Chains A and B, each alone.
Chain A
Amino acid sequence: MTGLNTFLIPAEPYYRPVGDEVAVFEAAYRYRLPVMLKGPTGCGKTRFLEYMAWRLSRPLVTVAAHEDMTAADLVGRFLLLAGETVWHDGPLTLAVREGGICYIDEIVEARQDSTVVIHPLTDARRILPLEKKNELVAAHPDFQLVISYNPGYQSAVKDLKESTKQRFVGIDFGYPAAAVEAEIVVRESGVGAALAARLVEIGQRSRNLRGQGLEEGASTRMLIHAGRLALAGLDVAAAAQAAMVLPLTDDLELREALGAAIAACL
């Protein structure tokens, strides 16, 4: 137990609910249904889950999925110890055995063949087969699986298998409404309400260009960064340029247009 307890969230993380997501998650947790958090990057998916883990007093084991991740990185593998092979549980197995929330962030980044290991955990069986070790781990009653993914990646190449998708309860995260987003920016960056509202207005300019050359508009996270830069004494236009324009695009014409639109907001 002690191993997993280090994953408990000690203090309440700031999270501003924007819809019924807390109620949906709690309902899903009551029956331990697997949950999928969808939404663009930087809109608060991870923060939400930290908040829920704190609220439900469950340890949160986070795995950031990546291209090179194998099934062994999730479930565990034999390692060599003094000439002997010793089994080491992976993060998923740890959460399954001891009853935590396992959060696989940006699951589409992993290869599809790596992620099918979660299937037996997400239906009525709730078991994790450790093929190498020849063991079936029955999930702890408190175990819950949560994944996140950015629908922008939806494509034939990087998409969840239909068989994976259909196992989850979905919670959609969009950019919050302007007033709510401004509130979040105030709280997270410490800037005043008026400046936060301007930053949100600026963010909206970049979101308008999604699909017109930008992959994604500025996330709430970017707005917070811009707010912090402004608080550190940077001129707002310069802060927006550094925190929102430059990271978003290398296209000079796009930068210029976005810069002009930002200037219009200030």
Chain B
Amino acid sequence: MLAPADPSPPVLAELAGRPPLDVLSRQAWAAIAAQGDPGNARRWAACIQALLHANAGAACLAAVLRLHGTPAELADTAQAVTTICRHAGAAQAVACIDAWDRLRAPGLWPGMIRLAHDAPDCIASAAGHAGAVLQAVGSDGFSGFVALGLRAAGRDKVRRTAFFALTDPLARRALAQGAGGGLADLERRLKLFATALWGRPPAMRPLPAAPNRPPARRASLSDGVILLPESFPGLPPAAQPRLYRAAVAHAVSHLMAGTQRQPVGTLKPLQLAIIALIEDARVEALALRRFPGLRRLWSPYHVAQAEGVTAPSLLARLARALFDPDYTDSHGFVTKGVRLFGEADPHDTAAPRRIGGLLGNDLGQMRIQFNARTYVVEPAYRDDGLGLWDFGTQSETPPDLLEMKVEAARVRQEAGNGRIEGPPDSAPGAARARPVAAASGGVLLGRYPEWDPVSGVDRPDWTAVLEVPALAGDPRQLEAMLDASADLRHRVARLVRAARPGRPQRLKGQPDGMDLDMDAVVDAEAMRNLGVMPGDRLYRATSLRTRDLATLVLVDVSESTRAGGILDIERHAVALLAEAMSGLGDPFALLAFASDGRERVRLTRIKAFEEPFATPARARLAGLRPGLSTRLGAALRHAGSELAGVRAFRRLVLVLTDGEPSDIDVANPLDLVEDGRRAVLGLRSRGVDSFAVVLGTHGAETAARMFGRSGHVVLRRLEDLPARLSDLYFRLSRR
């Protein structure tokens, strides 16, 4: 109990004349004081006073005063609310109080305070969704989630809003990941599983929720691409991997059976659903002939019982009856479906449409209602069936099909995102595209001289090299490209293994060692017999080869690399090379360069020396876009100064370019060639090797001029680059 001597706090007096706060504050104080924690009680009172002085307003104060709890947690809450109120205003503070009262998670506050500082407009939304976030990432994960959103969205207010409203794909992925067992964790395993079954790696993508729509609940197939929901809602994390595996096995069954899109024609939604169901059963029957073990994988999800006569339950019963030979169901619709299906040849691709049409008519005559909007395919591992239909382009789609058509089009677009340039789909932690920042010019990295051919001297500080933030692309595109060249990747991996340090080198004729060198011993004995003093180098030893090479790869991304997909090939080659260099443990950096006059030689850092070649770097590599000119000399000089800071026995600048240097403010490109030559000489004098890979014959002569005969190689056939670049690196690194 509070000692009687403890006076009521001054804030009560300040609130005395303000109903209803006067009553609320006295009640709150009484409740707190009664709990016998005078320290925190006084702290609470001080915070309420601070809140009052922060112009919190009656609604906010009332909300705080109405809270119940221990003095310590109420004091913490009051303190946090005061901070939020100061930075974001009373209305936002009230939203936070509501959220806290609902969830009672102390982990909420650091994140909310951060939001109040950096993104006050998002507080109400974040507070509203805090329950879902906490459930997914736990109490401790909330501030991390907030930090992720702020970092990912940068200054992009629209995206920030979407993130905290949980409609942004990144937010969904973060939640799915936080819960564990989400798609992001499982993707590689699922892809390998599908590859093992199918024989080639399938295209697989997450299926994000459409704006203002609930997240996807079922997998989807679209023209050979498997789309998977970010997580299967309503399922504990531990059960997710199995369902994903079942869904992928089902999708692979479609791929193996070669399910094709077919025109919708005049079919009704119910018929579409039944035909898709029969097609599912058909492809599964075919798959089970080859992989009988899939039955064990799928059967736990067939839980329909022989009861219920709504359309969804009849469909689920039919699905089970077609799948499970031990299931008995006497409903006429189900038995007819089983009979028709049993009579058809599973290889007959027209059968599902025929059977589905008949069964659909039956259900129609039974006057059974079907709501296409709310229908969800059962069992859960099956796809939504949209990939089966071609809704055509005619505008007179019947209204009951419209929603399906729209959803199918969206899924189709998502599936296409892996191939065509979609919106950058940045991974957690990847720098987000910020066109505004990029256009403003970037950060000055240094000024470098340039050769003046007229006066024959270096013009000091003539060029400015700027670092511009990288656009994040979709690392999956890169991954898909590498997957497509599995043989090449395999070959490079072999080269890596062969060149990796740790493979001992045999040394013969050593003065000491673990083994006798038999040939040397015999020679020595022969010499001794001849009366000649033999040498003492009679042993064999092994030594470890060591690698000590740091490489900076300069990638030309000027406008000319747009033509003929040069940049894409460069990207592919650099990705392969980077994998090789990572595998070897050789330190390396990747820089892309393009110039826009001497004051704007723009470098984009794809990967720094100290950074791993992981998803963020891959996303940046995937995000490279062509544009502007080629001022090679300045880029080379900067590369040299970056390499100067790296400790290595050998340092190498590897330039990938498609032609000769040029820039908008230089009338005669030969001046830049001469400057490039001097830059190469400058590098050499600082102990940095340089080597150029020239794509196409266009720049062959100038490259020879700049890098010397042995310092460059010309690749006439562009498509050779990925294979040749890594080979070349191995050759250079052995030199």
A residues within 8 Å of B by Cβ? 67-68, 70, 72, 77-80, 83, 85, 152-158, 201, 204-206, 208-213, 215, 253-254, 256-258, 260-266
**Interface pair A253/B293, CB less than 8 Å apart:** no
Q: Does B107 contact A (CB under 8 A)?
A: no
Interchain Cβ contacts under 8 Å between A and B, 25 examples:
A68-B506, A77-B519, A78-B526, A152-B490, A154-B494, A156-B495, A204-B199, A205-B197, A208-B196, A208-B199, A211-B486, A211-B487, A211-B489, A212-B201, A215-B490, A253-B188, A254-B192, A256-B189, A257-B191, A257-B193, A260-B245, A261-B193, A261-B197, A263-B296, A264-B293
Complex Cα spacing A201 to B191, Å: 19
**Interface pair A80/B200, CB less than 8 Å apart:** no
Please encode chain B, from 297 to 314, with 1 for each CB lying within 8 Å of some chain A CB and 0 for all others.
100000000000000000
**Interface pair A211/B498, CB less than 8 Å apart:** no
Contact of B727 among A68, A156, A204, A266 (CB under 8 A): A156
Q: Does B462 contact A (CB under 8 A)?
A: no
**Interface pair A205/B192, CB less than 8 Å apart:** no
Which chain B residues numbered 486 to 517 have a C-beta less than 8 Å away from chain A? 486-487, 489-491, 494-495, 498-499, 506
**Interface pair A264/B498, CB less than 8 Å apart:** no
Complex Cα spacing A72 to B529, Å: 22
Q: How distant is B187 from chain A, measured CB to nearest CB, in Å? A: 10
Central interface residue in B191, B193, B294, B490, by most chain A CB within 10 Å: B193
Counting from the closest, the 10 A-B pairs by CB-CB distance are A257-B192, A211-B486, A261-B196, A157-B498, A264-B291, A257-B193, A205-B196, A264-B293, A266-B293, A155-B494
**Interface pair A258/B192, CB less than 8 Å apart:** yes
Q: How distant is A66 from chain B, measured CB to nearest CB, in Å? A: 11
Q: Does B195 contact A (CB under 8 A)?
A: yes
> If the complex has contacts A158-B498, A265-B292, A266-B293, are A260 and B193 also in contact, measured as CB distance less than 8 A?
yes
Which chain B residues numbered 708 to 730 have a C-beta less than 8 Å away from chain A? 727, 730
Q: How distant is A228 from chain B, measured CB to nearest CB, in Å? A: 22
**Interface pair A211/B490, CB less than 8 Å apart:** yes
B residues within 8 Å of A by Cβ? 188-193, 195-201, 245, 249, 290-294, 296-297, 483, 486-487, 489-491, 494-495, 498-499, 506, 518-519, 521-522, 525-526, 529, 727, 730-731
Central interface residue in A153, A206, A208, A257, by most chain B CB within 10 Å: A257
Central interface residue in B188, B192, B519, by most chain A CB within 10 Å: B192
**Interface pair A79/B193, CB less than 8 Å apart:** no
Q: How distant is A80 from chain B, measured CB to nearest CB, in Å? A: 5
Contact partners of A265 in chain B: CB under 8 A: 291-293
Contact of B192 among A72, A157, A213 (CB under 8 A): A213
Q: How distant is A254 from chain B, measured CB to nearest CB, in Å? A: 6
Q: Nearest A residue to B245 by beta-carbon distance?
A: A260
Complex Cα spacing A25 to B691, Å: 48
**Interface pair B522/A80, CB less than 8 Å apart:** yes
Complex Cα spacing A263 to B603, Å: 51
Complex Cα spacing A210 to B493, Å: 13
**Interface pair A212/B486, CB less than 8 Å apart:** yes
Complex Cα spacing A220 to B522, Å: 45
Q: Nearest B residue to A153 by beta-carbon distance?
A: B494
Contact of B249 among A253, A264, A266 (CB under 8 A): A264
Complex Cα spacing A256 to B197, Å: 13
**Interface pair A263/B297, CB less than 8 Å apart:** yes
Contact partners of A263 in chain B: CB under 8 A: 293, 296-297
**Interface pair B196/A258, CB less than 8 Å apart:** yes
Q: How distant is A98 from chain B, measured CB to nearest CB, in Å? A: 24
Complex Cα spacing A1 to B291, Å: 56
Q: How distant is A256 from chain B, measured CB to nearest CB, in Å? A: 6
Contact partners of B727 in chain A: CB under 8 A: 156
Complex Cα spacing A197 to B249, Å: 21
Contact partners of B487 in chain A: CB under 8 A: 211
Complex Cα spacing A154 to B490, Å: 10
Contact of B297 among A153, A158, A213, A264 (CB under 8 A): A264
Q: How distant is A79 from chain B, measured CB to nearest CB, in Å? A: 7
Complex Cα spacing A262 to B249, Å: 12
**Interface pair B193/A156, CB less than 8 Å apart:** no
> If the complex has contacts A152-B494, A154-B491, A158-B498, are A257 and B292 also in contact, measured as CB distance less than 8 A?
no
Contact partners of A261 in chain B: CB under 8 A: 193, 196-197
**Interface pair A158/B494, CB less than 8 Å apart:** yes
**Interface pair A209/B196, CB less than 8 Å apart:** yes
Q: How distant is A261 from chain B, measured CB to nearest CB, in Å? A: 4
Q: Nearest A residue to B521 by beta-carbon distance?
A: A80
**Interface pair A257/B189, CB less than 8 Å apart:** yes
Contact partners of A206 in chain B: CB under 8 A: 196
Q: Nearest A residue to B296 by beta-carbon distance?
A: A263
> If the complex has contacts A72-B519, A264-B291, are A209 and B525 also in contact, measured as CB distance less than 8 A?
no
**Interface pair A77/B196, CB less than 8 Å apart:** no
**Interface pair B498/A155, CB less than 8 Å apart:** yes
Complex Cα spacing A72 to B518, Å: 10
Complex Cα spacing A263 to B198, Å: 14
Central interface residue in B195, B198, B294, by most chain A CB within 10 Å: B195
Q: How distant is A67 from chain B, measured CB to nearest CB, in Å? A: 8
Q: How distant is A113 from chain B, measured CB to nearest CB, in Å? A: 11
Contact partners of B196 in chain A: CB under 8 A: 205-206, 208-209, 257-258, 260-261
Q: How distant is A149 from chain B, measured CB to nearest CB, in Å? A: 13
Q: How distant is B198 from chain A, measured CB to nearest CB, in Å? A: 7
Contact partners of B506 in chain A: CB under 8 A: 67-68
Q: Nearest A residue to B727 by beta-carbon distance?
A: A156
Q: How distant is B45 from chain A, measured CB to nearest CB, in Å? A: 56
Q: How distant is B515 from chain A, measured CB to nearest CB, in Å? A: 10
Complex Cα spacing A161 to B672, Å: 42
**Interface pair B195/A208, CB less than 8 Å apart:** yes
**Interface pair B195/A209, CB less than 8 Å apart:** yes
Q: How distant is A212 from chain B, measured CB to nearest CB, in Å? A: 5
Given A80-B525, A215-B490, A264-B197: 12 more A-B contacts, CB < 8 Å = A67-B506, A72-B519, A77-B522, A79-B522, A80-B521, A155-B491, A156-B727, A211-B489, A258-B192, A261-B196, A266-B292, A266-B293
Contact partners of B529 in chain A: CB under 8 A: 83, 85
Contact of B200 among A156, A205, A208 (CB under 8 A): A208
**Interface pair A212/B522, CB less than 8 Å apart:** no
Complex Cα spacing A262 to B494, Å: 27
Contact partners of B526 in chain A: CB under 8 A: 78, 85
Complex Cα spacing A102 to B191, Å: 45
Q: Nearest B residue to A73 by beta-carbon distance?
A: B518
**Interface pair B192/A253, CB less than 8 Å apart:** yes
Q: How distant is A203 from chain B, measured CB to nearest CB, in Å? A: 11
Q: How distant is A47 from chain B, measured CB to nearest CB, in Å? A: 26
Contact partners of A78 in chain B: CB under 8 A: 522, 526
Q: Nearest A residue to B506 by beta-carbon distance?
A: A68
Q: Nearest A residue to B486 by beta-carbon distance?
A: A211
Central interface residue in A68, A201, A253, by most chain B CB within 10 Å: A253
**Interface pair A208/B198, CB less than 8 Å apart:** yes
Q: How distant is B500 from chain A, measured CB to nearest CB, in Å? A: 10
Complex Cα spacing A82 to B327, Å: 87
Q: Nearest A residue to B490 by beta-carbon distance?
A: A211
Complex Cα spacing A101 to B122, Å: 81
Complex Cα spacing A67 to B504, Å: 10
Central interface residue in A78, A258, A262, by most chain B CB within 10 Å: A78
Contact partners of A79 in chain B: CB under 8 A: 518, 522
Q: How distant is A161 from chain B, measured CB to nearest CB, in Å? A: 16
Complex Cα spacing A84 to B521, Å: 12
Contact partners of B191 in chain A: CB under 8 A: 212, 257
Complex Cα spacing A254 to B191, Å: 10
Central interface residue in A157, A209, A262, A264, by most chain B CB within 10 Å: A264
Q: Nearest A residue to B190 by beta-carbon distance?
A: A257
